[in-house]
């Protein structure tokens, strides 16, 4: 549910640090009807034009605070609220080329009353913002 709204329409851009392009960023929302503590958000697999970026390397930024995949696993206080926009940063030296890209995200959630890990899936064609 809410899969369609998982990937944000805005905020898709390269990340530049100290003059170096170190990766790219996109906006994500929870594919669920309520918020969850970050320890129950089991990361995001990203693919761009078919190239896959495993969830262990991706960074999650919520309200200005950035978490690694490992840090999220033991974050028991902070909650990702329903419908709240977060940023996902994918390390990629040199970043992505200008223009449009086919972006897909799989979001993994550990929900108490669901016997399996819940997945949210979305795919959008996005224009890289300059």
Partner 1 sequence: MSGIKRGVSLYSYQEEFFLRKLTLEQCVAVSASMGAYGIESLAEQMMPGFPKLSDAFYEQWHEWMRIYGATPTCHDAFLDTKRFKDRLLTLDEQVVEVTRDIKHAQRLGAKFIRMLVICSPELMERCAPIAADHGIWLGVEVHSPWFIEHEWIQKHLEVAYRVGTDKLGLIPDMGIFVERFPRVIYERYLRNGAHENLVRMIVERYDRHEDVHGLVEEVEKLGGNGEDIGLARTVGHFVSSDPNKLRDIIGAVRHIHGKFYEMSEDDREMSIPYNVIVPVLAAAGYDGYISSEYEGNRHLQDAFPVDSVEQVRRHQRMLSKLIGEQK
Sites of contact with partner 1 (CB under 8 A)? 1-5, 29, 33-37, 39-40, 73, 76, 79, 81-84, 110-113
Closest distance of CB 77 from partner 1, Å: 9
Give bridge partners of residue 121 from the DSSP assignment: 106
Q: Which is nearer to partner 1, 6 or 92 (CB)?
A: 6
Closer CB to partner 1, 11 or 37, in the complex: 37
Of 54 and 83, CB closest to partner 1: 83
In the complex, the smallest distance separating the C-beta of residue 73 from partner 1, rounded to whole angstroms, is: 6
Tokens of 75: 């974050």
Closest separation between CB of residue 71 and partner 1, Å?
A: 13
| 4 versus 51: smaller Cβ distance to partner 1 | 4
Min. distance of Cβ 39 from partner 1 in angstroms? 6
Could you tell me whether strands 100-109 and 41-48 are parallel, antiparallel, or unpaired per DSSP bridges?
A: antiparallel
Closest to 127 in 3D by CA, of 13, 7, 6, 24: 13
Query: 3-class SS at 86?
Result: strand
Count helices and strands in the chain by DSSP H and E runs: 1, 11
DSSP-based three-state secondary structure for 45: strand
Q: How far is CA 79 from CA 12, 35, 67, 108, in A?
A: 23, 6, 13, 15
């Amino acid at each position: 549910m809410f899969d369609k709204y998982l990937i944000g329409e805005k905020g898709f851009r390269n990340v530049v640090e100290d003059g170096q392009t170190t990766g790219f960023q996109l906006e994500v929302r929870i594919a669920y009807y309520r918020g969850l503590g970050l320890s129950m958000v089991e990361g995001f697999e990203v693919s761009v034009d078919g190239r896959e970026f495993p969830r262990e390397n991706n960074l999650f930024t919520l309200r200005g605070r950035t978490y690694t995949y490992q840090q999220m696993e033991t974050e028991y206080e902070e909650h990702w609220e329903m419908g709240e926009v977060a940023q996902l940063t994918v390390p990629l030296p040199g970043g992505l080329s200008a223009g449009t890209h086919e972006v897909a995200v799989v979001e993994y959630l550990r929900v108490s009353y669901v016997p399996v890990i819940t997945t949210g899936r979305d795919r959008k064609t996005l224009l890289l913002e300059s």
